[in-house]
Structure 1
Amino acid sequence: MSNPGQGKAGGPDRRRNAAGRERNRSEPRGFSTAAPSERTRRADPARLVAFEVLRAVAADDAYANLVLPVSIRKHKLDKRDAGFATELAYGALRGQGTYDAVLAKCVDRPLEKLDPAILDALRIGTHQLLAMRVPAHAALDQTVGLARAVIGAGPSALINAVLRRVSSKSLEEWTAELTAGVTDATKVSSLTHSHPEWIVRALRQALVDHGRDVSEIEALLAANNAAPVVNLLALPGLGSLDEAFEAGAVPGELAEGSALFSAGDVGRLESIRTGTTRVQDAGSQLVARALAAVQLEPVQLEPVGPEAGGPEAAEEDARSVRPGTAGRSEQWLDLCAGPGGKSALLGALAQQRGNTLVANEPLEHRAQLVRQALRPLNPAVWTVRVGDGRTVAEDFPDTFDRVLVDAPCTGLGALRRRPEARWRRKPSDIAGLGTLQRELLAAALTAVRPGGVVAYVTCSPHPAETSAVVQDCLRRRDDVELLDAGAVLDDVSLTGSLAAGHESTAQLWPHVHGTDAMYLALIRRTA
């Protein structure tokens, strides 16, 4: 009788194990060292939080940055576990493109045929194996335990087998395999840095359009995949960063009254709960401060005295100077205010100077978020208008001294903070948004008074959303001029050396400034 572990000729049978059981695999199979009764059957809370975030993003079209804090608090994670859950959720979302390409090599069916919950569990396991300092046995055991607890025992065998194949190579080895023989540089960058190919091409074009070297694309894509530090802002005249510093924050290097926080759940800070301290990227802080700092031109109205040109007319002219000059208070407008971050900063600056702010938001539920953001301010300082920003000029022509147009955009400059955005956006989104952006900017230029300034801002560096929009609006009017936004940005920054603009506009970059890729154009309406 032959040995069950031998082949017909007496040699080792690679299709059977030592007990004689048939493997049915072309390669050796690794078995768990734990007995089935000892394998993890519960979901580790931190991994469960990450899984809930991925499920909400995929199934409910949710935003990770909104779901994650709620889930962390629901499961009562401590600082260490909250940090682990954050890296796991955001890392799995950022790396989804690369991880799916790896998984496609390890699964015996198209990924779209997998149950979405199983695929999310595989992405979580893959990120632990390839990009986190988690021992392979722990990543496998805990991910399988998560699957058993929240998906069911059936899929756990598949997840275990697939993740064992994933663990057979490092991320560098998988990347080399995925890109072997690929001659298209865009595709290589897409696979290596987990960005859709159209976004890689768009960012390459943006670098060139804004006066930078196209060779920076690799650094830019890598910066988009780096976990950002939380930026805090103390509202001028209202907030304090003392509590944040006591909790481990350090002073921000770019914006006045800012801090960098990496000590866990920022929502535990009392000043965050009261709204006097806010989470806001330094780039967003700087563009709002730039609008508040730019020098306005006093512009007088037509003579209205009984004898135009005489002494009485001159006296009447002096009294008819528009708001913001000759000691008069200024009126500011945030045209696209929701959810209210920049409105809160502008409102605090306006309050310090005795000015007022109108915050416009077309959707009532987002308008409520704006009201909440403005709640720490004196109610007499601000007003929330619920309505289409494109109609503001009809109600308030030639009225405002400063107008912020933080235009709806693709968000390609904030991919590190909104990791799911890169997989949701499509090239067709740009055309539709471009029309809206032009209409909003045109309305702002009519609503601002002669001598006043409009700040056109996007969190996207895409030329179609930045320079093309501004140049189109400039060509259509003969009463506007482009100011040097880079110089103003330098004036309000702590470093004084941020001017990275092109043709008088300013463009910030994650790989250069450590901020979101905020674009700023300052446009003055002339007499």
Structure 2
Amino acid sequence: MPDPQHGDHQHERSRQGRRNGPRRGRSGGPRRPPRPADPARTAAFRALMAVESEGAYANLALSEALSHAQLSPRDAAFATVLVDGTARGQGSWDAILEAASGRRPQDLQPAVRVVLRMACQQILATRVPLRAAVDSSVNLARRQIGERVTGLVNAVSRRIGRRDLPGWAGELATGDELTDLALLSCHPRWITAEFVQRLGIEEAARALEADNLAPVPTLVVRPGLAELSELLECGATGCLYSPYGATRPGNPADVPAVAQGRAGVQDEGSQLVSLALARTAQAAGTSGPWLDLCAGPGGKAALLAGMAASDRRLLVAAELHPHRAAMVREALAPIPGDHQVLTADGRRPPWRPGSFAAVMADVPCSGLGSLRRRPESRWRRAAGDITDLQTLQKELLAAAVDSAMPGGTVGYVTCSPVVSETLDVIAWALANLEVDLLDTPAALPEVTGAATGPQLRCLQLWPHRHGTDAMFCALLRRR
């Protein structure tokens, strides 16, 4: 009887010999060695796994993945397209995956789900050739998950490639206009319904399409610290409406004024609502300080501080969360003039009522107006979330009105087009608070196609109309 230990060693040497010998395919010839890892797809996969398994924000997860991967500019751009598009299309990709695989996506292990969503993005939303998309997906699965899943990834990816996105939309059509538009536009049905309520089905389709186009970074100069010409000299293009803004592809930190804190990054819509409040408050002629009630992370506060300084006014910026208050302090640090940052709950403020000539109430909201810049956020919200938010929005608006002097101006702002966060809150304010609704569009006469609400006195910006986030603003005057 052979020695069991010796026999085990002999068996191991035999297996080792087979591993080290030439690998052979089904025809008996040598099998090609595995392809090297694709650095762009690997970085994208790692970022998307952080989004899927850890609840990370796509932009932050991508930034971390790119910093470790040290990709070429071309590979980094492709990884960005993969992450943004895969996160943005998640719900639609899952519906297509279920039809192509016969399995519910939630029944697949998370890594397989991510690889197949990436396959959907490449096949249905980019110019990557089908064969390359399939092969690269199989290779990514082999390297990141294991050989056992490559057959599944190969088969499902090929089935995905049998139709383009409109073809899949037709295949999965339900006959319900909103559901079908939601699939084609890569939005949840409830968000699609909100857009249709505001715009009608045809224009809503254009607005939803604009949500899927990542914006070029928008910069803003700090009044009194920098001139717009500095940004233009660095290759930026002036914004369509804002006298303080410009767009520029690439890393904003490459612009000296941004690196030095004399300019920042801020969507043009955010700049415009700040400008509307400042212009109206200045025209009213009410003397006294200004207040930013919900100031974090500090973009609007920095712009308001610069404009307040030109009038020799104090700006008070209040923020509930200490870490966000620290961000506001950092944003305001270079701004000349008189400003103060408080860590405070705007609903229970430390200042006396009637203290301010102008109050900005940029309230917490669903953020559905900024879906272009936050690709995963559309799948993390539910319609029920807005009910809780509306209560907070009303409380903060009431506190803002209470903080304003008689005759003072209050700006109610949300980064959302949702009726319950915008027009419904204003209707409540007009019925319950001592305020009058001012002509907000008149404060921005250069901006067309934005008037909405009672007597067209509110302002709603749109990505497809104005190239901005979907910011809402209503200016009120305390009686």
Answer yes or no: same fold by TM over 0.5. yes
1:40 aligns with 2:27: no
Partner of 1:220: 207
Partner of 1:520: 473
Residue 177 (structure 1) shift: 1.2
CA contact (8 A) 2:429 2:435 kept: no
- Deviations along 1:377-402, one digit per CA (max 9) or x if unpaired, are 24x6222111211012x633111111
- Deviations along 1:217-263, one digit per CA (max 9) or x if unpaired, are 2112211122222211122222355665455432211211211222x
The amino acid of 2:462's aligned partner reads W
Larger gyration radius, structure 1 or structure 2: 1
2:278 to 264, 273, 292: 292
Partner Cα distance (2:417, 2:167) in 1:
32
- Mark the CA change 1:39 to 1:440 in structure 2 (over 3 Å): closer, same or farther: same
- Mark the CA change 1:155 to 1:291 in structure 2 (over 3 Å): closer, same or farther: same
Residue 54 (structure 1) shift: 1.9
Partner of 1:4: none
Partner Cα distance (1:152, 1:91) in 2:
25
Partner of 1:390: 347
Partner of 2:328: 370
Partner of 1:191: 183
Partner Cα distance (1:195, 1:35) in 2:
47
Partner of 1:471: 427
Helix, strand or coil: the match of 2:348?
helix
Partner Cα distance (2:226, 2:43) in 1:
31
Residue 296 (structure 1) shift: 5.2
Partner of 1:69: 63
Partner Cα distance (2:111, 2:464) in 1:
34
CA contact (8 A) 1:40 1:144 kept: no
Partner Cα distance (1:102, 1:243) in 2:
48
Partner Cα distance (1:428, 1:293) in 2:
36
Residue 175 (structure 1) shift: 2.0
1:486 to 417, 437, 441: 441
- Mark the CA change 1:347 to 1:123 in structure 2 (over 3 Å): closer, same or farther: same
Partner of 1:510: 463
Q: CA RMSD in A?
A: 2.3
- Give the alignment of 1:296-315 within 5 angstroms: none
Helix, strand or coil: the match of 1:84?
helix
Partner of 1:233: 220
The amino acid of 2:344's aligned partner reads G
1:432 to 372, 388, 394: 388
Partner Cα distance (1:376, 1:296) in 2:
23
Relative to the length of structure 1, the TM-score reads 0.80
Helix, strand or coil: the match of 1:521?
strand
Gaps of 5+ in 1: 1-30, 208-212, 300-323
1:59 aligns with 2:53: yes
Partner Cα distance (1:58, 1:35) in 2:
38
Partner Cα distance (1:78, 1:243) in 2:
28
Residue 520 (structure 1) shift: 0.5
Range with bigger deviation, 364-373 or 75-84: 75-84
Helix, strand or coil: the match of 2:114?
helix
CA contact (8 A) 2:449 2:465 kept: no
Partner of 1:340: 298
Residue 448 (structure 1) shift: 0.8
The amino acid of 1:171's aligned partner reads L
Helix, strand or coil: the match of 1:457?
strand
Partner Cα distance (1:214, 1:53) in 2:
34
1:176 aligns with 2:155: no
Partner Cα distance (2:192, 2:450) in 1:
24
Partner Cα distance (2:284, 2:92) in 1:
55
- Mark the CA change 1:231 to 1:522 in structure 2 (over 3 Å): closer, same or farther: same
The amino acid of 1:463's aligned partner reads V
Helix, strand or coil: the match of 1:232?
strand
2:129 to 135, 142, 152: 135
Partner of 1:497: 448
Residue 132 (structure 1) shift: 0.8
Question: Number of residues paired by the alignment?
Answer: 450
Partner of 1:20: none
Partner Cα distance (2:280, 2:340) in 1:
23
Residue 73 (structure 1) shift: 3.2
- Mark the CA change 1:80 to 1:375 in structure 2 (over 3 Å): closer, same or farther: farther
Helix, strand or coil: the match of 2:373?
coil
- Mark the CA change 1:278 to 1:412 in structure 2 (over 3 Å): closer, same or farther: same
Range with bigger deviation, 101-110 or 450-459: 101-110
Residue 149 (structure 1) shift: 3.3
- Give the alignment of 1:316-327 within 5 angstroms: 324-325=286-287
Q: Comparing both structures, which one devotes a greater share of its residues to helix?
A: 2
CA contact (8 A) 2:236 2:246 kept: yes
CA contact (8 A) 1:466 1:519 kept: yes
- Mark the CA change 1:240 to 1:82 in structure 2 (over 3 Å): closer, same or farther: farther
The amino acid of 1:184's aligned partner reads D
1:422 to 378, 387, 391: 378
Partner Cα distance (2:256, 2:279) in 1:
30
Helix, strand or coil: the match of 1:390?
coil
1:350 aligns with 2:312: no
Helix, strand or coil: the match of 1:391?
coil
Helix, strand or coil: the match of 1:395?
coil
The amino acid of 1:149's aligned partner reads R
CA contact (8 A) 2:166 2:184 kept: no
Residue 475 (structure 1) shift: 1.3
- Deviations along 1:413-466, one digit per CA (max 9) or x if unpaired, are 211221211111111111100100000000000101112101000011111111
Helix, strand or coil: the match of 1:278?
strand
1:97 aligns with 2:52: no
Partner of 1:413: 369
Helix, strand or coil: the match of 2:366?
coil
- Give the alignment of 1:205-284 within 5 angstroms: 205-207=197-199, 213-240=200-227, 244-245=231-232, 248-262=235-249, 264-284=250-270
The amino acid of 1:372's aligned partner reads E
- Deviations along 1:271-320, one digit per CA (max 9) or x if unpaired, are 33333222211111100111111145779xxxxxxxxxxxxxxxxxxxxx
Gaps of 5+ in 2: 1-25
Residue 89 (structure 1) shift: 1.1
- Give the alignment of 1:152-171 within 5 angstroms: 152-171=146-165
CA contact (8 A) 2:43 2:66 kept: yes
Partner Cα distance (1:169, 1:158) in 2:
18
Helix, strand or coil: the match of 1:38?
coil
CA contact (8 A) 1:332 1:403 kept: yes
- Mark the CA change 1:352 to 1:149 in structure 2 (over 3 Å): closer, same or farther: farther
- Mark the CA change 1:142 to 1:268 in structure 2 (over 3 Å): closer, same or farther: farther
- Mark the CA change 1:204 to 1:161 in structure 2 (over 3 Å): closer, same or farther: same
Range with bigger deviation, 272-281 or 186-195: 272-281
- Mark the CA change 1:65 to 1:333 in structure 2 (over 3 Å): closer, same or farther: farther
The amino acid of 1:355's aligned partner reads R
- Mark the CA change 1:120 to 1:414 in structure 2 (over 3 Å): closer, same or farther: same
Residue 157 (structure 1) shift: 3.4
Partner Cα distance (1:65, 1:91) in 2:
12
CA contact (8 A) 2:165 2:184 kept: no
1:461 aligns with 2:417: yes
Partner Cα distance (2:153, 2:331) in 1:
44
Helix, strand or coil: the match of 2:175?
coil
1:203 aligns with 2:161: no
Residue 83 (structure 1) shift: 2.3
